[in-house]
Amino acid sequence: MGNAMRSGKPCCCSRERQERQCGGHQDDARNAPAVGGELLGQDHHVARARQRGGQSDAPGANASSGLPIAASVLVSASVVGIGRSPHAVEVTGKKTETYTVTNATTATKTDTPLIETPASVQVVPRQVLDDQKATTLDEALSNVAGVRASSIGWAETIYLRGFSTSTYFRDGFRIDDPSGLGGQANLSNVASIEVLKGPGAFLYGRVEPGGVVNLVTKQPLPVAFHSIEASVGSWNHYTASLDATGPLDADAKVLYRLNVAYDKSRSWVDNVRSESSFIAPTITWNLSERTAATFEASYLHDRTTLYQQAVVPFDTATNTFQWGPHNANPTPYYFDPDTTFVGLNWSHAFDDNWVVRQKISHNRVNFSTPLNLSTAFGPLQLVDDVWTVSLGSAQLTGHTQSDGTVVDVTGHVTTGAAKHTLLVGADYYRLVAFYDSRYSNPAGPFIDVPLFSSEVVSPAGIPLDPDTFFVTQTLTRAYGVYAQDQAKLPGGFELLAGLRYQSVSSSGYTTSGLNFGGSGSPEPQPETHDTAVTPRAAVLWQPDQRLSLYTSYTENFGASNAANGTDWQGKPLKAESARQYELGAKADFFDRRANASFAWFDLTKTNVAAPDLAHPNGAGGFFPTTVGQVESRGIEFTVQGELSPGLGCAVRLHARPCVREGRHVALSSGQRHAERAEGHAALVQHLPVSPGCGCRA
């Protein structure tokens, strides 16, 4: 690097992501302060180094980085058994393959054909997940236009129509990850993934306006089915899974399903390992022809060693990051989350027209770490032409617990020439989040380690400091009631209208040590209470059974702004909201073996907190206000299905939306938002090696 001036730039993610994001903002790096060879301003972050090729976070995944791609190979084998009765088993290597799904429930909470649903909905069926060997949400959602996800470390973030969220749903029950420590979703027991694009608050309460991702789990079947699959890949990647279902009695009134999965791998990055074990039993009891109850549970244990990168040296003379060996990892971070889910679902049909359903769900994530090396406080400096990082220690414990229930009553009535599908429902949700982060003294002592090495030093010599900690606990309660009418009219017209009332309250406390500016005693957080009424309306016209056109208007209820304080009059800020206009078209073809959809949307997120430039707060800043807005406009196009026997295909396209910030926001009007969706087109096709075999035993 010679005598060039050197500066530091915080890098908050994996290397490929750093090259793609941080490298795209080199003006910030040029302006970063430099004092000799010392880097100023560090961010602490941990990232999982991915093992799978094709979507690698390895250096060089961006061609402009000049670093090689760490590819991987995965070879798998499976055995499938299908029983025609509890006493006869057929073993075959052929299974039903489909890329086409005709119905979905996420957009309406009723079993509605997609072509009759006046909203942009895309379903990723199990066959696509199996063919792509997708094991994470980011891999699965790569099939959906206008949607992308990232799995970095123990956090999963989903981007829908330019807006990010860490919330997804399991059979309609929300799974929240308020601080990105909830681990990654396991897809072993997932039958399909339904994605509603656009505001979903009408049915699901407070959510980001970009959309809703719902994991639909596998359910017990009345016919015996058993599948065992194993795979082996590069970087010592081994997986094994079991999927078994069938009746437990001769009358097939009690059914079961059991999913078991194991995944173990190392990485192209030194000292990075992952090992997970997953089990998900489900029991369905058909009490009568009209009444059924299902008990389901799952447990996921994950032992993960993560890649920890604090900063990367930046040479201001050449405007390049100074990477060392691609596999260097001197500061692995050990993390062990456990996730337990328990649910009870029941339904009763009063007659052929009216059904009541209830879901009761509990989800808890316990996470902890041993004493780890931490790059949160130690400086990064150049010593004898070697970049050296000074490390402290850290330890994290905590949990999140979600409990909730939802009751829906669905009915079918006829009034004159109109046929109605009515939905009336109510839901309640409770979330407790607790985090306890403890660190060594920020003033030292430290352990000095070469930044680009893989020699791991024990943190045992750096004890935790009793005055350097941060503890927080929050309690969130939410309930809502809603009503919806789907009306079929003569001439192929359909109307959808609905209204929801939502109430959300939260409270909590924080405790900070002296080195974090606290007193060491619990301090209550401001209590919040937000309410909203969110409508939705849509019109759909179906000139024939294979084509439909629709338009819709939807409003959203978003995040609270209480953390930003009060306005200049001392009033609490309103919660975020949104509105969306959408036009779309859908078509089925090839005897409904394939479908296509097109959507144009105009989505505006409002009540975004921003400085109120007209009212200084007397402390060198401004009071907050909620006049900011973020707009997202774009188009999406998808073709999915079996184009010919044995040829599965998924084509997706979304154009880069126009995203801009409103007035009184840090970005000027017309400037693009950091979470905008980029233009993208992709073709995924499935070509089976052989049509299968039919070996019987």
Domains of the chain from N-terminus onward:
6-65 (no CATH), 74-686 (2.40.170.20)
Residues composing the chain: 697
Q: In the chain, what percentage of residues exceed pLDDT 90?
A: 48
Q: Which residues pair with 296 in a beta bridge?
A: 282, 343
Taking the CB of residue 301, how many other CB atoms lie within 10 A of it? 15
pLDDT given for residue 679 in this prediction: 52
- Most confidently predicted of 42-51, 153-162, 440-449, 641-650: 440-449
Taking the CB of residue 392, how many other CB atoms lie within 10 A of it? 26
CB 509 within 8 A of CB 522: yes
Taking the CB of residue 490, how many other CB atoms lie within 10 A of it? 8
pTM of the prediction?
Answer: 0.83
pLDDT given for residue 222 in this prediction: 95
Residue 591 CB partners (closer than 8 Å, separation 6+): none
508 sits in the region (left: phi over 0; alpha: psi -120 to 50; else beta) called: left
CB 306 within 8 A of CB 335: yes
More confident residue, 299 or 26: 299
* Phi, psi dihedrals of residue 319, rounded to the nearest 5°: 55, 45
CB 388 within 8 A of CB 375: no
pLDDT given for residue 615 in this prediction: 87
The answer on pLDDT for 490 being more than 70 is yes
CB 642 within 8 A of CB 98: yes
H/E element, 128: helix 126-132
pLDDT single digits (tens) 295-338 = 999 999 988 887 776 567 777 778 877 777 778 888 888 888 89
For the chain, the average pLDDT equals: 80
The answer on pLDDT for 481 being more than 70 is yes
Residue 272 binned pLDDT confidence (cut-offs 50, 70, 90): confident
* Phi, psi dihedrals of residue 40, rounded to the nearest 5°: -110, 145
pLDDT single digits (tens) 121-135 = 999 999 888 888 888
Rounded-to-integer distance, Cα 242 and Cα 227, Å: 6
pLDDT single digits (tens) 407-422 = 999 999 999 999 999 9
Mean pLDDT of 159-185: 86
646 sits in the region (left: phi over 0; alpha: psi -120 to 50; else beta) called: left
The answer on pLDDT for 3 being more than 60 is no
